[in-house]
Amino acid sequence: MAMQKIADASSFRTSEFNTRDSARATAAPGFRHFLGAPNPSQRFRAFGIDPLTSPEHLPKLRALMHRLSRRMDAEVHWPPHRSGSAEHWENPLIPSGYTYLLQFVAHDLVHSAIPLSVSGSLDAGTANARRAPLRLETLFGSGPVGSPHIYALDAPSDDRRTKLRLGRMRWKENEPVTGCPFRDIARTRAENVTGIDRSIAGVRVALTEALVADPRNDDHAVMSQLTALFALLHNALIDLIRRQERNSGPNGQFGAAYKRFLCAREAVTLIYHNILRNDLMRRVIHPAIYAAYSGPAPHFIDRPDEASQGLAIGDWEIPLEFSHGAFRFGHAMVRHEYCINDLSIQDLYSTLEKTSANDPVNMPLDETWMVQWSRFFEINENKPNFSRRIGPYLSDGLGNDQIFPAFDETERVGLLYRDLLGAGIAGMWSVDALIAEIATRKPQFIAMSRLLADRAYRVSQLRDWLAAAPAYGALTAEDIEALSNDPPLPFFILFEAMQQPQAEGQRLGPLGSIIVSEVIFGALAGDPRSSNGDALASQLADLSREYYPANFFQEIPDISTMTQLVKFTTEIAELQQAVPAFL
């Protein structure tokens, strides 16, 4: 039955990839489409009209996405957990630290000057600047020469810069004698040509500039703390290498520093890749999809022919169906409040506000914002903040008009509307056509889900949900028919996750899992150092011997989870007695 339904859907498919020029017509530089550019008949439509070919239709699309976002303001009524260890809306399988690791990964894959939803079109302003995926450019930038402002001196006797800058935390109360004070990202003030000074005269200087490679890593307090965590790991590895180096003398210091930086950066990247492969993806991906992609030689279906399409080295492109579709699921995982440490519980709005751009007079972060990582990952049997279940609902704080103001005639504020509108104008595959195309390549994946394999069932489930809360969004009968027959991809990915039998929002469904796996595991497979299937210890040993005569990384354990990374960083950076507590 399921296979027959798949066959019925095949009318959406064309047998060949479109040309490179055709793909460029519907993608900004640095972006492409999943499985090749869809034909016009395969693209998402609103009320049967393609927004790309009918720009005069854009106001109707905006209004429809506005009403859909209002429908998604209704909280999901989740079934209770069997163990009773978490609230109905919480996901005990994914602690909330992974929400922000997902955001960190997104920053490492995509960097655009202007959001597509705000720009309103696929042009140079929405281009993706990332040309090498998952290489920690979001942390290291262009290195000490290309991004000198984010690097600090290695040691008092060495003026080379290979350590990432960190900043002192601020104390509301008296600073304790013990503990590491450098727990925040580095921040500074800047002269303003307009003469505007946001400082409080005689009280506090406004630290308006975050000294990080990617300004989005200061989007909120938890994000800047996660960035500081990776910086602490890198800096500790720099010290580990220094202690084992031979004295190169004054004339050899530059070469020694260059090797030290490259070796430490690659080591952090290998650890990061190991965690993505074995921890993050295992938690968020459907088990059957994870099993198919996590092995040493997965079969990928989204592989553009680089030789025929003229891709140069470093000219990697990310599918819009990932960046503006499936990977937006992380927004649904954001909680309304967080227990940051033993000293404070903070609501989401306060967390989002804590940046150098929004609150410079209260920077650096004080002790109430120093993340205690056992609150965000499973450490020492402590109960962490759990993420939200994945479904078509976002926490109220993501609708704040100060953080996500209105930008068009709908006057709709919040992140959700931006996600939906960006997907609507990106020229992406329709859900029906995408399912049909995947079914020709991986039919077993589509067959495992009735929601994917049976279009009539899919439409009826969407229709019933859209009509179930008439007080939210005021969707018309025409709206409901349009959206149930052609749902925007980010909405459908959340809906699919909510509908998963036995999982109900605790992980992605098959379609979301396929798109995410193809991109993340595909990027990992493209890295020759971490794609060979060797254990982390072997990879690190080989790396060390590329730069030094011995294995400088023998004391690094097998770090395959965020819990292990935090524990190792605590030890190697000597943060066991940190105040506030690091673990």
Q: Encoding tokens for residue 292?
A: 């198919």
Q: What is the mean pLDDT of residues 235-241?
A: 96
Distances (CA, A) of 272 to 141, 269, 280, 493: 16, 5, 10, 26
Flag whether pLDDT at 565 surpasses 50.
yes
What are 328-382's pLDDT values in tens digits? 999 999 999 999 999 999 999 999 999 999 999 999 999 999 999 999 999 988 8
Query: Of 235-249, 311-325, 489-503, where does mean pLDDT reach its minimum?
Result: 311-325
In angstroms, rounded to a whole number, what is the distance separating the alpha carbons of residues 573 and 583?
A: 12
Are residues 290 and 511 in contact, defined by beta-carbon separation less than 8 angstroms?
A: no
Query: CA–CA separation, 433 vs 42, rounded Å?
Result: 5
For the CA atoms of 255, 257, 261, 264, what is the dihedral angle to 10 degrees? Answer: 110
Q: Is the pLDDT of residue 313 over 70?
A: no
Instruction: Give the residue, 156 or 273, on which the prediction is more confident.
Output: 273
- Tokens 């601020």 locate to 170
Q: DSSP label at 278? A: I
* Inter-CA distances, 27 with 320, 399, 419, Å: 8, 28, 17
The pair of three-digit structure tokens given for residue 64, joined into one six-digit string: 């429809």
Q: Which two tokens stand for residue 80?
A: 């209770």
Residue 178, C-beta contacts closer than 8 angstroms, at least 6 positions apart: 577, 579
> What's the CA gap between 88 and 85, in Å, rounded?
9
Tokens 């004391």 correspond to what residue?
555
Total residue count of the chain as it appears in this document: 583
CA–CA separation, 438 vs 446, rounded Å? Answer: 7
Which of 522, 560, 71, 50 has its CA nearest to residue 306?
Answer: 522
| pLDDT recorded at residue 193 | 67
Q: What would the mean pLDDT of 443-454 be, rounded to a whole number?
A: 98
Tokens 């202007």 — which residue?
A: 114
Q: Residue 414: left if φ>0, alpha if ψ -120 to 50, beta else—which one? A: left
Contacts of 332 (CB under 8 A, 6+ apart): 388, 389, 390, 391, 392, 393, 394, 494, 497
Q: Specify whether the CB–CB gap between 78 and 89 falls below 8 A.
A: yes
For 501-531, the pLDDT digits (tens) are: 999 999 999 999 999 999 999 999 988 887 7
Q: 354 and 369 in contact (C-beta within 8 Å)?
A: yes
**High-pLDDT (> 70) share of the chain, %:** 90
In this model, does residue 6 exceed pLDDT 90?
no
d(CA 331, CA 100): 10
**Among 84-98, 304-318, 488-502, the least confident range:** 304-318
Radius of gyration of the chain (CA): 24
Which DSSP string do the residues of 430-457 spell out, in sequence order? PHHHHHHHHHHH-HHHHHT-HHHH-HHH
Task: Give which of 210, 217, 223, 214 is closest to 137, Cα–Cα.
Answer: 214
